[in-house]
A and B are shown apart, each in its own frame.
Chain A
Amino acid sequence: QQQVKQSPQSLIVQKGGIPIINCAYENTAFDYFPWYQQFPGKGPALLIAIRPDVSEKKEGRFTISFNKSAKQFSLHIMDSQPGDSATYFCAASRGSGANNLFFGTGTRLTVIP
């Protein structure tokens, strides 16, 4: 059972566009929601993270929007660049015990110059 559902599977945008990647979860025990960026052959790199007590967080060109009642969160990439072409994963963790991350299935983003 996929604990975090992610869409779309792939996304192509023009340089300067604003790709949006969406994630949804069911487990209300989740209280930490990070986004990771992964390039081919590399490990995931932490981009930005949010907690349910805020509805939006911005770091540089990356913004997370969080809707606690809908149990959904999304990543927006402002002024996207070809160097942003990568696979993006949303994740969630419970804040207790192992606090292991539950990942979405990933979105492959391509930014066309």
Chain B
Amino acid sequence: DTGVSQDPRHKITKRGQNVTFRCDPISEHNRLYWYRQTLGQGPEFLTYFQNEAQLEKSRLLSDRFSAERPKGSFSTLEIQRTEQGDSAMYLCASSLDPSGETQYFGPGTRLLVL
């Protein structure tokens, strides 16, 4: 296992379309996080899963965003009715330790909404 993987790496879409991103965490990592990073800024927390349960969501996660982790392994992040302001890098991280503090990030999915 070489680390957290994300797919696709790049996505260009038109405003109003739906997009879905996938994250495969490091094997056996039970915690999975989604962050969003805009240009020139640090990543900002969106949501977190402990196994298959989504336990916390940031206020940044509007109702157009939904995330799932159906079997406690991979996760998907869907954005409905995309807006230009959704353009960002979407990062996934996973953690094995019980506290979740040591997080390993994937390469991210860069989204551009035209």
A 19-63 binary contact with B (CB < 8 Å = 1; else 0): 000000000000010101000011111100100000000000000
A91 to B105, CA, bound (A): 14
Contact call B108/A43, Cβ cutoff below 8 A: yes
Partner of A99, one of B40, B101, B106, B107: B101
**Count of inter-chain pairs, beta carbons less than 8 A:** 69
Tell whether A105 pairs with B45 under 8 Å between CB atoms, given A45-B105, A98-B100: no
Give the interface of B toward A (CB within 8 A): 4, 6, 33, 35, 40-45, 48, 55-56, 58, 91, 93, 99-108, 110
The 3 closest A-B pairs by CB, nearest first: A103-B42, A43-B105, A100-B45
Whether the pair B101, A89 counts as a contact (CB closer than 8 A) is: no
Task: Tell me, yes or no, whether A97 is within 8 Å of chain B by CB.
Answer: yes
Q: How many residues of A contact B (CB 8 A)?
A: 26
Please measure, in the bound complex, the distance between the C-alpha atom of A39 and the C-alpha atom of B104, giving whole angstroms: 15
Please give the residue numbers on chain A whose beta carbons come within 8 Å of chain B beta carbons, in ascending order. Answer: 4, 6, 32, 34, 36, 41-46, 49, 89, 91, 93, 95, 97-106
> Contacts A43-B91, A99-B100, A100-B56 known; A106 to B41 CB distance under 8 Å?
yes
Which among B42, B48, B99 is the interface contact of A106 at CB below 8 angstroms? B42
Residues of B within 8 A of A45 (CB): 105
Question: Are A95's CB and B40's CB within 8 A?
Answer: no
Collect the chain A residues with CB atoms within 8 Å of residue B99's CB.
32, 95, 99
Tell me whether A97 and B56 are in contact in the complex, defined as CB-CB below 8 angstroms, given that A46-B103, A105-B41 are known contacts. yes
Return chain A residues, CB-CB under 8 Å to B48.
Answer: 98, 100
